[in-house]
Structure 1
Amino acid sequence: MESDSIYQNFECRNIKNTSGPQTLNHRQDEGKDEKGRGSRCLVLMTVCLGLICVLLLVIIIFITAERESLFKSYKNTVEEFNQTINRLQDNYTDLTQKKLELETRVTSLRFFFISSELNWSESRKYCRDRGADLVIINTEEKQKFISSIVKESVWIGLSDIETEGRMMWVDNSPLNQEFWFKDQPDDYNGNEDCVELIPTQDAGNNWNDLPCSHKRKGICEKN
């Protein structure tokens, strides 16, 4: 009995002795596996982060290039738009100038000068013989235009021959707008019944009354 007990104890010790080193080796292998898996995960995460960084860099480069392209396109569009506006403004200015020149030419065709000096009645007859009459100035624009084309004193179609003190145009219309010199008309010596236009720097006020018998050139206007 004692030998059996000793044998059993010996087997138990052998079992304990053999199981101890095997458990330690197993734990060491598991540790190595865990470290390996951790290293692989770290490498994988690093690769993923690198790919993400590369992808973000590509996106940033693309967006930057796209913004620069859009900015250049916008800048070019603005420049082209401004150039178009400038061309249109130049064309408008040219057309306006040509329009004014054409209007001046057309207007000028309605007027012609009497080259010789005549009295007021003779000047009117000269105009009427040619299908016109002494000029009537009833607007500020017309006053400025006539003043701009005359170079010396001329008769205009205004007088108070019919009724003393009541100025009338040759078409019997009343005087509504007046462009007299200062202190005119003065009817000096009670004998100044006809009106002349004297070119001056002040195109707005250059009428003067004087005797109808005086000799002046005249300006005629076609109806």
Structure 2
Amino acid sequence: MAVYENASEITVEMMNLSDASARTAASKSHSDEDGTTVPGGKLLRCVAVSFCLLCVLQVALNISLRLALSPPPGIDASFKNLTEERDEFRSINLRIEESYKTLTEERDELKRKLSNFALYSNQGWVYFSGSFYYISSINKTWQDSRDDCVRRGADLMIINSKEEQEFTRKYRQIMWIGLTDRETEGVWKWVDGTLLTTSFWHSGEPNNYEGTNEDCVAVNYHDYKNSWNDLECVIKNFWICEKKMTL
């Protein structure tokens, strides 16, 4: 700025400077409105373009994911078939496991029976028609004979068929069997509590011979198919035990 001696000249110069500043500001403002010289406008345009690109990428990504995750045609039916096959295999596997368990139990039961067969055979028992039989080698009363059978895990023999009756005849000994009317006279019961239905009494038996109290039964007359004889229970005879055991 020039310095003048005259005050009026100084005033005029200052006014000129003020007008120039005003014109410069107006020109700058006009340039901002036109958008030709504002750096911030470029930044806004870049942000807008970037945002549009991101939107396009998002749409493309959504479409790609939908295509990737959407099952191909027929996949639902295939999945259903596979599920049904899986369930069928599971059912088959369960049946196999149940059959295996049953077979294992049957095998163990057969082993147990075979072990018992060997045990009883070695102890002198005789197997016939689903039962093991023990024929004593000494004489005892009917009750003592039964007690011996019970200690052996058996009981006095029960005869329910002609085959069992014929089996007893081949030993040709007087042997106690498990039949008695000690509870009620004339009501014959087997040792398991069942009533007598099939009998093989010898002719004239039972008879309480000569008024004696004959309440127990033995196989006696071996030359006859009907060989039963009622005897006093205190008489000592051989006896035959029976233990049911089938394979």
Relative to the length of structure 1, the TM-score reads 0.50
Higher relative contact order (Cα pairs below 8 Å, separated by 6+ residues)? 1
Please say which structure displays the higher CA radius of gyration. 2
